């Protein structure tokens, strides 16, 4: 591979925004890709994939390059040189790239690869916390799986088409897909491709949604005609899946504290033909209180550390702080206490996170069940989904049922 100056400079710019200015990787890549309209798919792919790879392996590359944050531009070029050497890519004779001792880099890589926190490129506190929470063996396998690049998975919008029909239409557009056993509405891209420019996407025939995330809505056991409330709807990935499972029949209320996310959900719902979705911003406690004891089904897709989705958000390794877990656990329990009251007697609730930590998952459910608010609920089943076992994101889901009122 021959390295092009403008593409490498774009990667270094991106790393500066992410590492030094604290910007989110996905937003930065989007911004940097607008530098030059002449860049083709291969150029854009190089910038995006190299940036994400260097974010993913930041600690390892910085250790080998012997640089520390905050990183100067020269530091970032040194880290880039480490990436290139380990990839077997010949470095160009540019003034920005210092003479690079390839044998020393490879030797240091071999040495550091024996230590998990360097090999998997995670902060000390995260490595210690997860090893203690999951056990050494499971954490070692899980972080290795979470450092692999996420595949592109589509969820077929069954309100508008079938899986076979979508696969055929995408094939005609030059996008090859395959089914995934155990995931009825999922199609996996055989090669990465910009599916957002396809007519099928513009017509609302699919959403991009990880396979593990696609398991949450069916876990809630919704039926057409029910009243269903998605309490932490965000931009609505799971809301839209619920709408499809409900066949557009019944009432689906999407709640969130962020009104801008609900605006995006409305736009997506219109494209997907999901007509039974109603959005409500949680701008006061009245919004929740009005819904007490009214819903057949409630989904709480709770805010969390996001440690199960490091495949697609590798910068979270560096953004998360040690004290965040304690803070978010308080929020999770409060949400469970408050939003569970929306479930009517005989109704069901799913508590879900995209975390792999038991502190955020089963331990939160047990704490809720032992509380006054949870005394009328029973745990029907739960599921820990690990990347090392599925190849997809890490998730947790618990299905609870509220007891019928005694006559």
Active-site residue flag, 130: no
In this structure, what are the phi and psi dihedrals at residue 343, rounded to the nearest 5 degrees?
-70, 130
E strand or H helix at 296, and its extent?
strand 295-301
What are the residues whose beta carbons fall under 8 Å from the beta carbon of 152, sequence distance 6 or more? 188, 189, 192, 193, 195, 208
- Separation CA 225–CA 106 (nearest Å): 61
Q: How far is CA 304 from CA 21, 243, 317, 364, in A?
A: 23, 24, 13, 12
What are the residue ranges of helices labelled H in 156-283? Answer: 163-172, 199-202, 216-219, 237-245, 259-272
- Separation CA 192–CA 213 (nearest Å): 19
Question: Is the backbone peptide bond immediately before 207 cis, with ω within 30 degrees of 0?
Answer: no
What are the residues whose beta carbons fall under 8 Å from the beta carbon of 224, sequence distance 6 or more? 246, 247, 248, 249, 250
308 SS3 class: coil
Sheet holding 183-189, edge to edge: 177-180, 183-189, 153-156, 206-208
- Separation CA 20–CA 6 (nearest Å): 21
DSSP conformational letter for 196? G
> Each residue of 391-405: b (16+ CB within 10 Å) or e?
bbbbbbbbbbbbeee
- Cβ–Cβ < 8 Å for 396, 384: yes
What region does 297 belong to: left with phi over 0, alpha with psi -120 to 50, or beta? beta
The residue from 130, 304, 354, 388 that is catalytic is: 354
To 5 degrees, how large is the angle CA 86–CA 24–CA 268? Answer: 120
Instruction: Please name which of 275, 273, 331, 340 lies closest in space to residue 302, comparing C-alpha atoms.
Output: 331
Burial class (CB in 10 A: 0-12, 13-18, 19+), 229: buried
Catalytic center residues = 354
């Amino acid at each position: 591979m021959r390295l092009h100056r403008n593409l490498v400079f774009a990667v270094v710019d991106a790393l500066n925004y992410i590492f030094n200015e604290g910007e989110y990787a996905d937003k930065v890549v989007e911004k940097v890709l607008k530098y030059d309209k002449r860049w083709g798919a291969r150029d854009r792919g190089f910038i995006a994939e190299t940036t994400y790879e260097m974010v993913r392996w930041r600690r390892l590359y910085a250790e080998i390059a012997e640089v520390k944050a905050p990183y100067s531009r020269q530091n970032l070029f040194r880290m880039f040189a480490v990436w290139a050497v380990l990839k077997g890519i010949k470095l160009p004779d540019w003034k920005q790239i210092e003479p690079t001792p390839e044998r020393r880099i490879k030797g240091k890589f071999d040495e550091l690869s024996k230590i998990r926190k360097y090999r998997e490129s995670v902060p000390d506190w995260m490595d210690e916390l997860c090893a203690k929470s999951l056990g050494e063996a499971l954490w070692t396998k899980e972080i290795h799986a979470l450092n692999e690049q996420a595949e592109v998975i589509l969820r077929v919008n069954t309100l508008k088409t079938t899986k076979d029909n979508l696969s055929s239409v995408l094939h005609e557009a030059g996008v090859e897909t395959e089914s995934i056993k155990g995931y009825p509405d999922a199609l996996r891209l055989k090669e990465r491709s910009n599916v957002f420019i396809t007519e099928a996407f513009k017509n609302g025939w699919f959403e991009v949604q990880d396979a593990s995330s696609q398991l949450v809505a069916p876990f809630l056991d919704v039926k057409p005609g029910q009243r269903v409330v998605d309490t932490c709807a965000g931009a609505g990935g799971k809301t839209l899946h619920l709408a499809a499972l409900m066949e557009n029949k019944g009432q689906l209320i999407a709640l969130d504290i962020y009104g801008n996310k609900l605006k995006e959900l409305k736009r997506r719902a219109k494209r997907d033909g999901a007509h039974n979705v109603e959005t409500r911003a949680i701008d006061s406690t009245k919004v929740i209180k009005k819904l007490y004891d009214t819903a057949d089904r409630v989904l709480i897709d709770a805010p969390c550390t996001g440690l199960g989705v490091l495949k697609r958000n590798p910068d979270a390794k560096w953004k998360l702080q040690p004290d965040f877990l304690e803070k978010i656990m308080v929020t999770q329990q409060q949400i469970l206490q408050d939003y569970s009251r929306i479930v009517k007697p005989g109704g069901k609730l799913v508590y879900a996170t995209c975390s792999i930590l038991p502190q955020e998952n089963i331990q939160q459910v047990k704490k809720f069940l032992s509380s006054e608010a949870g005394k009328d609920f029973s745990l029907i089943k739960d599921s820990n989904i690990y990347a090392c076992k599925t190849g997809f994101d890490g998730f947790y889901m618990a299905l609870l049922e509220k007891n019928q009122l005694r006559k």
